Amino acid sequence: MTAPTAPAPDAQLYDFRRPPWIGRDRRAILDGIHTRLLPTLGQVITTHLRQAVTLTLREAAMVTFGEIRDGLATPCVTYIVPLPGDTGDGLVIVEPALALSLVDRLFGGQGDPGDRPATLTALEQAVLGHLVQGFLAALRHGYRDIATFAPGPIRFEEIVERIEVVGRHARVYLLALDLQAGGTAGRMEIILPAGLLDAFIHGATADLALATAEPPRVLVESHVRAAQVPVVVRLPGFKISARDGATLAPGQVLETNHSFHGNVELHVNGRRLFVGALGRQQGHVGLRVLAPVDSTTPTPSRVMRRTEAP
């Protein structure tokens, strides 16, 4: 009579690239934190966009940083998050198409940026950066019992080779989120150094209050007001005959009856918007804005004549 054999244990899949990094009890705690955190993160984006947002958790896993960076392409939309200590820095990645749509909505559009380059302007980087900062503040508050971190001023980066928040083979914590707001959809990823979660894995806790932030509309307005816009002052156009133009040579002088102290045009980003007058103020050349102009009206031209240099 043969002895009964013990039942074989159920086979379980094992991912060697992403092995289990915490026990079941800790995983259950983390799942509960995410359940409470997602509505808060969604509310941050809703407040900025002034539209209802659905945010879902696609993945929460421990991976290597090289795996994250290999999935990026230049130009990318990332914000480097300086963190104190020697664990490394954090990273927020926004899918480029989603970033363009969010920026368009933040400036009052419908979320359709059209056919435009993926690169963000400095103003767009700053405005989107405030949404990211609000996102980080909510995440920091939601994780206050498992990961204590105080991020410094974030920095935008679009060149993949310049993103070195931790070593290539270092472990990082990936929180991948799917965002849906009307016709706007895409993915955001938050990357934190694995060292930030060591205390949680070993049972320690921390307490950290949520940082306050200014209303999103105030932040957008402050950046718009502080943005530097190139302004060019031009004298009205001149005309010269084809005959004189064909025989121009060094040393010749072009004369016109236009006075230096007459009216000039102000061009903002290549568009003719205002008429102004040149003068002096406290020893400096000054410009007074007189009136707006219709950009569709052609610029008046004056006839020039060529004379020989004395």
The residue that leads in pLDDT, 23 or 2, is 23
Mean pLDDT over 242-261 rounds to 72
Is the pLDDT at 303 greater than 70? The verdict is: no
Query: Are the C-beta atoms of 68 and 176 separated by less than 8 Å?
Result: no
- Most confident among 6-10, 41-45, 142-146, 296-300 (mean pLDDT): 41-45
Would the pLDDT of 223 be above 60?
no
Whole-number percent of the chain with pLDDT over 70: 74
Among 91-95, 192-196, 215-219, 296-300, the range scoring the smallest mean pLDDT is 215-219
d(CA 200, CA 206): 9
Using pLDDT thresholds of 50, 70 and 90, give the confidence band for residue 174. very high
Average pLDDT, the chain: 78
Q: Which pLDDT belongs to residue 194? A: 85
Q: What pLDDT, on the 0 to 100 scale, is given for residue 33?
A: 86
Flag whether pLDDT at 30 surpasses 80: yes
pLDDT at residue 212, as a whole number? 37
3-state class (DSSP) for residue 113: coil
Residue 237 has pLDDT above 90, yes or no: no
Whether residue 12 has pLDDT greater than 70: no
pLDDT beyond 90 at 158: yes
| pLDDT tens digits for range 113-124 | 878 888 899 999
**What's the mean pLDDT in 235-261?**
72
- Comparing 44-53, 140-149, 291-300, the range with the smallest average pLDDT is 291-300
Global pTM reads 0.63
As a whole number, mean pLDDT of residues 20-28 equals 72
Which pLDDT value is given to residue 56? Answer: 92
Strand segments, DSSP code E, in the chain are 54-64, 77-81, 90-94, 155-157, 171-181, 184-193, 231-234, 237-239, 253-255, 263-268, 271-281, 284-292, 301-303, 305-307
Tell me the pLDDT band of 306, cut-offs 50, 70 and 90. Answer: low
The answer to whether 276 touches 287, Cβ cutoff 8 Å, is yes
Q: Give yes or no for residue 297 having a pLDDT over 90.
A: no
- When pLDDT is cut at 50, 70 and 90, the band that residue 206 belongs to is very low
Taking alpha carbons only, the member of 221, 76, 47, 197 closest to residue 134 is: 47
